[in-house]
Amino acid sequence: MDCNTVQARIFPYVDGELSAEAAAEVEAHLASCERCSRLVELELRFQATYTRKLRPEPAPADVRAQTQGLLSSLTARAGARVRRPIGRRYAVAVAVCLVALGAGAAVLLESVFKSRGALVDFAEAAVEQHQRLTRDVLPQDIQGVSPKAAEEWFRKRLNFNISLPDLPSERLKFRGGRIWHLDGVETAALGYQVEGSDVSLFIVPVEAYRNLGLKEAPRFKLVTRRGYDVIVWQSQVNGVGYALVSEIGGRACVVCHSPEDIQESTANLGAHR
């Protein structure tokens, strides 16, 4: 089994959805592949941090019994009036009962996952495009130029403000860029190498960033998807949104932040991983 096959099966593997034979094949590959093992480890860490800790507790036995009794009563009444739909008040009562089953845990889950849902979808799209860019599935529209020259090229073709910092560093190399659609939004996609690792920077218009529904604090948000770290933030100067995709976490911030900003970003990322 090769890396592509294993990586396509990571989610069902960690969720325990593979057959015993398929799981054994994945595990045999993981035993000799450090990269795929890291991807599995990161997904397990994500589950431990979010999914398992936020799983709702079962409702108390007396609440379940009362709810079951009420549902049985409603079912009996509906059966006696088979030609008539259940009244609105009964439908409301059923909804109230179902909400009661989850009560506090359901509210917690809704608030957490609703706030993360758009961000996670955005991060998934960014990771997918990053993989295409780094595997040369998507050729660069512009390359072999400085970040400032690329900035001018993008500004002539996109209707939002593009600003590319030019921070000279031996750790950093600008590879090029292209115009692409990220999650349905026209985007400037930039490719870099930091310490020999591929890093992609996506710049989206302010409207697209606002659609994520993110709070202003903390400034930097981190989502880990498919083994990649996706750092998302909004420029405090020109308002556009950024997504930085890499496998090196906060070290990738050298692409567009000074050492002082990187200190701030990595401190916040540690608290919101």
Alpha-carbon dihedral sign for residues 263, 169, 140, 162? positive
pLDDT for the residue 234: 92
Per-residue model confidence (pLDDT) at position 258: 65
Which parts of the chain have pLDDT scores under 70? Answer: 46-61, 63-64, 71, 74-116, 258-273
How high is the pLDDT of residue 92?
Answer: 54
Q: Which residues of the chain does CATH 3.30.200.100 include?
A: 115-271
Between the two ends of the chain, the Cα-to-Cα distance in Å is: 31
Please say whether the beta carbons of 173 and 143 come within 8 A: no
- Going from the C-alpha of 88 to that of each of 82, 84, 93, 94, 100, the distances in angstroms are 15, 12, 9, 10, 18
Cα–Cα distances (Å) from 195 to 135, 174, 256, in that order, read 18, 12, 15
Instruction: For residue 113, give the amino acid letter.
Output: F
pLDDT digits (tens, 9 = 90+) for 44-94: 776 666 555 444 555 666 766 777 777 677 666 655 554 455 455 555 554
Which residues sit opposite 224 in a β-bridge? 229
Q: C-alpha distances in angstroms, 138 versus 25, 86, 128, 142, 148? A: 31, 55, 11, 12, 22
Among the listed residues 221, 195, 199, 198, the one whose alpha carbon sits nearest the alpha carbon of residue 209: 221
pLDDT of residue 149: 92
Q: Is 167 helix (H, G, I), strand (E, B) or coil?
A: coil
CATH of region 115-271, choose from 3.40.50.150, 1.10.10.10, 3.30.200.100, 1.10.10.60: 3.30.200.100
Q: How far is CA 24 from CA 11, 18, 27, 72, 123, in A?
A: 15, 9, 5, 45, 30
Indicate the SS3 state at residue 19: coil
Give pLDDT, residue 273. Answer: 38
* SS3 state at 105: helix
Beta strands per DSSP E along 113-254: 142-143, 172-182, 185-194, 197-204, 221-225, 228-234, 241-246
Q: Which residues contact 140 (CB under 8 A, 6 or more apart)?
A: 175, 176, 177, 178, 191
pLDDT for res 95: 53
Rg (CA), the chain: 24
- Please check whether residue 1 is in contact with residue 29, taking contact to mean a CB–CB distance below 8 angstroms: yes
Query: Residue 228: its pLDDT value, please?
Result: 93
* Predicted local confidence at residue 50, as pLDDT: 52
Residue 104 has a pLDDT of 47
